[in-house]
Amino acid sequence: MTFTIPSFHLSSIGPWLTLTVTAILILVLDALSPKGRKVCFSWLALAGLAVAAFQTIGLWGSTGTDFARMVYIDDFANFFYLIFILGAALTVLISRQYLEDYGKNMGEYYALIIFATVGMMLMAAGSHLIMIFLGLEIMSIAVYVLAGLFREDLRSNEAALKYLILGSFSSAFLLFGMAMLYGASGGTLFLNDLPLRLGADPAMAPLVLLGVGLLIVGFGFKVAAAPFHMWTPDVYEGAPTSVTAFMAVAVKAAAFAAFARVFFLAFPAIKVDWNMVLWVLAVATMTIGNVAAISQTNIKRMLAYSSIAHAGYLLMAMVAANQLGAMSLLYYLLAYTLMNLGAFGVVILVGRKKDSYLNIYDYSGLGAAHPVLAASMALFMFALAGIPPTAGFVGKFYIFSAAIQAGYIWLAIIGVMNSLVSVFYYLRITVLMYMKPAEADLGPVVFSPALTAVVALTAAGVLAIGIFPGCLYNLAMNAVKIFPGL
Amino acid sequence: MLINYVPILIFTVVAIGLVAVIVVLSELLGKKKHFPSKDMPYECGMDPIGDARHRYTVRFYVIAMFFIVFDIEAIFFFPWAVVFKSLGWFGFWEMLVFIGIISVGLVYVWGKGALEWE
């Protein structure tokens, strides 16, 4: 037997390699450093992420595939790399003080965050369904562990177990869908080959539909779309707040990256079939998320339902399935990363030692006690609600215009009405902060430099890309040129 | 094309049918005589000692996971060894990287004291 090893360039997966090496280095250092000695893992992690970001920028503009067509090199992947790196870096920054309060500032935490980021990159760049599945598993397994980081906390245990069991189910659905497509296509899982091969044999049409349906279940779980959203509130509430932030932004972004790439590249020919399913999912997700968020008094649960609602808006962009829709997906996920991580930064700050104050009424009187903190929280809430001049408004504007451009007027109307509902619970926080007196003295807020920096950076970012979206619009528009079927 | 799958359908029907026949027949024809030593759980022919629902120390799980990791490493070694020559130096270095990453796992558990059995 002879094998020829296909030619490849390690530089085309440079960011993955850097992050893998960083995570392994952190693990080794953590194991070898004597007990009780502080090693600055967070700085190491940030350094690795910074190098990966530079490599990504170096890859910008290059197109093609590598590693025997297993990996796409294009700006769509690069754009998502930057979203993941940004999400991971901000998560690392908000984690340190928070974990130290719990006595959990361990190397493993940072290693797992970075391993999860590598998995996300695989998902965004995979050109073969098995690559995407591998990426999904690498990401998910790391996040399952992260959700259960606080071993002594029952709710954290519950979150990890729920996420693990339901997540395994969804992975199985996804894999089963891929198996169906493998059979229907006559033995290929390359996204490039699938459209031609799937259309070849009309007798296989039911198998194709079954496969696509199972893929929707698998991805729908990961993006927390109704009716596969049941795990979200419990897992988001029980997991450590910094992990919740990471799950809400980066995991969702990765799932949407793979979702969009697979559906826009491989199944444009049967758009009619999956479009209606996603239409229903989008409406259900938005409505359930927003309506359930109204009655929440725990801020983490409220943000969990809000993240479900945002998955609904993003599904709208998938339904639209045009250039503008794909572009708005990229823009909105970046904007969502900024505004949601900022909001979670404030939640950690206000939660004080060991998440003592997670009730929304603990925000009463924050406007008088800490005007700047309250102002940034108000800004994030406005952004999440989609009020100009924030990034959230521009993102929603793009998504709704994409839906209208594709002819889904009713979907856009339902989306706008949902936004109106969401304004209630986002603005309730603002009203509590500015118009209600503090209910009790909750003690001082400890402003650690890293957390303050995250809140300041994200607040500035939300305003900046909200007021000047043009540059990002062009970048994202170029990135989605890879979808010829749209 | 779907006609190609008919043998699988026949196979499935036969399998289910055979199992059903065996279960139903033994239920109908078999003698049902119960006595205490027959109803006892089978434990290598001895009288069972205690409940099977023990609590095991969590260290067993660590060892088990450990075993799986190196088990899988060994599984990957065999195909590699078969085509070792045609893969050449590239295959050699690639495998070294793989072993290196697994060794990091070993160093990690070792450093964390998971191998100590007080």
Assigned domain for B27 exists: yes
Assigned domain for B116 exists: no
Spell out which residues of chain B touch residue A31, defining contact as CB-CB under 8 Å: 107-112
Q: How confident is the model at residue A438 (pLDDT cuts 50, 70, 90)?
A: confident
HSE (side-chain half, CA atoms, 13 Å) at A198: 25
Q: Do the Cβ atoms of A328 and A317 come closer than 8 Å?
A: yes
- Helix, coil or strand: residue A298: strand
Q: What is the CATH number for B21? A: 1.20.58
Q: Across the interface, which of A1, A24, A32 has its CB nearest the CB of B83?
A: A1
Phi, psi of A386 (to 5 degrees): 85, 50
Q: Across the interface, which of A2, A31, A203 has its CB nearest the CB of B107?
A: A31
Spell out which residues of chain A touch residue B107, defining contact as CB-CB under 8 Å: 28, 31-32
- Helix, coil or strand: residue A359: strand
Q: Which of A416, A313, A427, A344 is nearest to A381 (CA)?
A: A427
User: What stretches of A126-193 show up as alpha helix (H) in DSSP?
Assistant: 129-147, 154-184
* Interface touch B111/A3, C-beta < 8 Å: no
DSSP character at residue A450: H
Measured N-to-C along each axis, helices A299-320 and A323-351 cross at an angle, to the nearest 10 degrees, of 170
Distance of residue A32 Cα from the nearest chain B Cα, in angstroms: 6
Measured N-to-C along each axis, helices A154-184 and A205-222 cross at an angle, to the nearest 10 degrees, of 160
Q: What is the pLDDT along chain B (118 residues), one digit of tens a residue?
A: 678 889 999 999 999 999 999 999 999 998 888 888 788 887 787 777 777 788 888 888 888 888 888 898 899 999 899 888 888 888 889 899 999 998 888 888 888 887 787 7
Q: Do the Cβ atoms of A159 and A234 come closer than 8 Å?
A: yes
Q: What residue type is A124 in one-letter code? A: A
Phi, psi of A183 (to 5 degrees): -65, -45
Distances in Å between the alpha carbon of A361 and those of A24, A339, A414, A433? 42, 21, 30, 9
Q: At a CB cut-off of 8 Å and minimum separation 6, what does A186 contact?
A: A197, A200, A201
Assigned domain for B118 exists: no
Q: In whole angstroms, what is the distance from residue A211 CA to residue A174 CA?
A: 8
Q: How confident is the model at residue A37 (pLDDT cuts 50, 70, 90)?
A: low
Looking up tokens 């002819």 gives A407
User: What stretches of chain B show up as alpha helix (H) in DSSP?
Assistant: 6-29, 36-39, 59-82, 84-111
List the end-to-end C-alpha distance of chain B, in Å, as a whole number.
Answer: 63
Distances in Å between the alpha carbon of A394 and those of A317, A388, A399, A416, B100? 14, 7, 9, 13, 48
Q: How confident is the model at residue A445 (pLDDT cuts 50, 70, 90)?
A: confident
List the end-to-end C-alpha distance of chain A, in Å, as a whole number.
Answer: 43
| Whether the predicted pLDDT of A41 surpasses 70 | yes
DSSP character at residue A250: I
Pull the structure tokens for residue A329.
């997906």
Phi, psi of A468 (to 5 degrees): -120, 75
pLDDT score of B59: 81
Assigned domain for B59 exists: yes
* Interface touch B107/A203, C-beta < 8 Å: no
- Helix, coil or strand: residue A190: strand
Give CA torsion, residues B95, B101, B104, B109, to 10 deg: -110
| Whether the predicted pLDDT of A1 surpasses 60 | no
Return the percentage of chain A with pLDDT > 90, whole number: 77
Vertex B38, ends B37 and B41: CA angle to 5°? 85
User: What stretches of A103-128 show up as alpha helix (H) in DSSP?
Assistant: 107-125
Minimum CA–CA partner of B108 in chain A: A31
* Interface touch B104/A2, C-beta < 8 Å: no
Number of domains chain B contains:
1
Spell out which residues of chain A touch residue B116, defining contact as CB-CB under 8 Å: none
* Interface touch B112/A31, C-beta < 8 Å: yes
Paired with A128 in beta bridges are: A190
Assigned domain for B85 exists: yes
pLDDT digits (tens, 9 = 90+) for A278-327: 999 999 999 999 999 999 999 999 999 999 999 999 999 999 999 999 99
pLDDT score of A162: 95
| Whether the predicted pLDDT of A172 surpasses 60 | yes
Phi, psi of A459 (to 5 degrees): -60, -45
pLDDT score of A3: 67
pLDDT score of A292: 95
Q: In whole angstroms, what is the distance from residue A362 CA to residue A441 CA?
A: 10
Assigned domain for B82 exists: yes
* Interface touch A1/B82, C-beta < 8 Å: yes
Pull the structure tokens for residue A397.
């504007």
* Mean pLDDT to the nearest integer, A129-137: 96
Residue A6 Ramachandran class (φ > 0 left, ψ -120 to 50 alpha, else beta): beta
Assigned domain for B69 exists: yes
Domain that holds residue B90: 2-111
Q: How many CB atoms lie within 10 A of CB A256?
A: 27
The domain locations on chain A are: 14-482
Mean pLDDT of chain A: 92
Q: Do the Cβ atoms of A72 and A132 come closer than 8 Å?
A: no
Q: Do the Cβ atoms of A24 and A58 come closer than 8 Å?
A: no
Looking up tokens 């009619």 gives A272
Q: How confident is the model at residue A427 (pLDDT cuts 50, 70, 90)?
A: very high
Q: How confident is the model at residue A9 (pLDDT cuts 50, 70, 90)?
A: confident
Spell out which residues of chain B touch residue A27, defining contact as CB-CB under 8 Å: 104, 108
Alpha-carbon A418 to chain mean position: 21
Transcribe A40-106 into DSSP letters.
Answer: -HHHHHHHHHHHHHHHHHHHTT--EEETTTTEEESHHHHHHHHHHHHHHHHHHHHHHHHHHHHT---
Residues, chain B: 118
Burial class (CB in 10 A: 0-12, 13-18, 19+), B35: exposed
* Mean pLDDT to the nearest integer, A76-91: 96
Distance of residue A130 Cα from the nearest chain B Cα, in angstroms: 18
Indicate the pairing of strand A71-73 with strand A64-66.
Answer: antiparallel
Minimum CA–CA partner of B86 in chain A: A2
Q: What residue type is B57 in one-letter code? A: T
* Mean pLDDT to the nearest integer, A354-364: 87
* Mean pLDDT to the nearest integer, A123-137: 95
pLDDT digits (tens, 9 = 90+) for A382-409: 999 999 889 999 999 999 999 999 999 9
* Mean pLDDT to the nearest integer, A44-60: 95
Q: In whole angstroms, what is the distance from residue A445 CA to residue A368 CA?
A: 13
Burial class (CB in 10 A: 0-12, 13-18, 19+), B12: exposed
* Mean pLDDT to the nearest integer, A113-138: 96
| Whether the predicted pLDDT of A357 surpasses 90 | no
